């Protein structure tokens, strides 16, 4: 079962979260494999890390809408996406256009010419008229233009730049599990607080965060993928007083779920126009559209397709296109 653990450190302005996506992550990979559309291994690792990171980021904010983490690449991977709903339902996909080497990391996959970008979009569920989704974008290189090889580094950069939050992120994924640990300095509330705090107190609190972030950074990929939450937190923070909240497991746990539907596919086909659809029908006898996220295939035959372009209420009997 997938799980999400939240915790704080007694007396310190530091919060932490640990996520382990197992059954949902495996289901996602199995669907791609069953549809003969499995991603190359390094892309699977990247997508797993993105899914874990996006769940952590969604769980970290109180926002009624989708959090969409995208990396736009200029190499063999054109795009990688992880999307997480407020109930922690997640899905991921990628667009791979070239050969991905077995040992390819972020730069070789997405930042070959230094033009790769990472975007985080918050798309509100009930948009007000004219309301635009919020989007923050960071490059895939560090302050000295050095290319970053880890998604975690890119996201730490984003958190600092766009939210002024010191964050330590450790991510790992294989075909069995996608996992992540997030340690974050809690924002100080109100500038007045800052001024009223004595210098020594502030330095003490900073040291607390630095110590815990340093401990988190010692976590290896292997440990993150093999240790259960209990063991991992105890080993990492055994000298700290960790206060844990009720873990989100079972029904409230992160899970794989796709938002595609026949209706949405119908809308997309309609926007292609009658002529385009007719030419596909003439050539192939039916229109087949596969979902990029869950690999489900939607089929429209000539009768379904005719129904697409009829005014509402006049669909031919037996058409399932708009039901």
**Closest distance to Zn ion from the beta carbon of 119 (Å):** 21
For the purposes of burial, counting CB atoms within 10 Å of the CB of 130, is it exposed (0-12), middle (13-18) or buried (19 or more)?
Answer: exposed
How far is the C-alpha of 239 from the C-alpha of 182, rounded, in Å? Answer: 18
Helix, strand and coil percent figures for the chain, each rounded to 5: 35, 25, 35
* Inter-residue contact 50 to 28 (CB < 8 Å): no
CB nearer to Zn ion: pick between 74 and 292: 292
Closer of 21 and 182 to Zn ion (Cβ):
21
Minimum Å gap between C-beta 116 and Zn ion is 26
Cβ proximity to Zn ion, 8 vs 260, nearer residue: 260
Nearest approach, Cβ of residue 288 and Zn ion (Å): 14
Q: Which positions touch Zn ion (CB under 5 A)?
A: 258, 260, 291, 293-294, 296
We find the least distance from the C-beta atom of residue 85 to Zn ion, in angstroms, to be 13
DSSP secondary structure of 171-226: EEE-SS-EEEEEEEEPPPSSHHHHHHS-HHHHHHHHHHHHHHHHHHHT--HHHHHH
Residue 76: CB minimum distance to Zn ion, A: 24
Whichever of 169 and 291 has its CB closer to Zn ion, that residue is 291
């Amino acid at each position: 079962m997938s799980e999400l653990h939240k915790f704080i450190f007694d007396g310190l302005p530091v919060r932490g979260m640990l996520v382990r996506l197992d059954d949902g992550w495996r289901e996602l990979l199995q669907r791609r494999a069953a549809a003969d559309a499995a991603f190359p291994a390094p892309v699977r690792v990247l997508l797993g890390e993105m899914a874990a990171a996006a769940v952590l980021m969604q769980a970290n904010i109180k926002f009624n809408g989708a959090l969409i983490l995208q990396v736009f690449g200029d190499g063999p991977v054109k795009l990688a996406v992880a999307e997480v709903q407020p109930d922690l339902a997640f899905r991921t996909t990628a667009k791979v256009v070239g050969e991905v080497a077995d040992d390819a990391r972020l730069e070789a996959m997405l930042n070959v010419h230094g033009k790769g970008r990472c975007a985080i979009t918050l798309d509100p569920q009930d948009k007000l008229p004219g309301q635009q989704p919020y989007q923050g974008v960071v490059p895939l290189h560090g302050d000295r233009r050095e290319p970053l090889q880890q998604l975690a580094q890119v996201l730490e950069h984003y958190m600092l730049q766009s939210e002024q939050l010191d964050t330590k992120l450790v991510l790992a994924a294989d075909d069995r599990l996608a996992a992540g640990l997030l340690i974050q300095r809690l924002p100080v509330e109100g500038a007045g607080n800052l001024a009223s705090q004595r210098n020594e107190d502030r330095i003490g609190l900073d040291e607390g965060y630095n110590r815990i972030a340093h401990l988190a950074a010692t976590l290896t990929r292997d440990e993150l993928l093999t240790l259960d939450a209990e063991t991992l937190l105890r080993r990492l923070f055994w000298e700290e007083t960790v206060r844990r909240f009720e873990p989100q497991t079972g029904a409230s746990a992160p899970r794989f779920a796709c938002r595609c539907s026949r209706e949405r596919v119908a809308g997309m086909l309609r926007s292609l126009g009658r002529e385009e659809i007719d030419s596909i029908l003439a050539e192939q006898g039916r229109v087949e559209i596969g979902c990029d996220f869950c690999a489900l295939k939607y089929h429209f035959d000539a009768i379904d397709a005719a129904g697409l372009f009829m005014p509402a209420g006049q669909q031919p009997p037996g058409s399932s296109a708009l039901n």
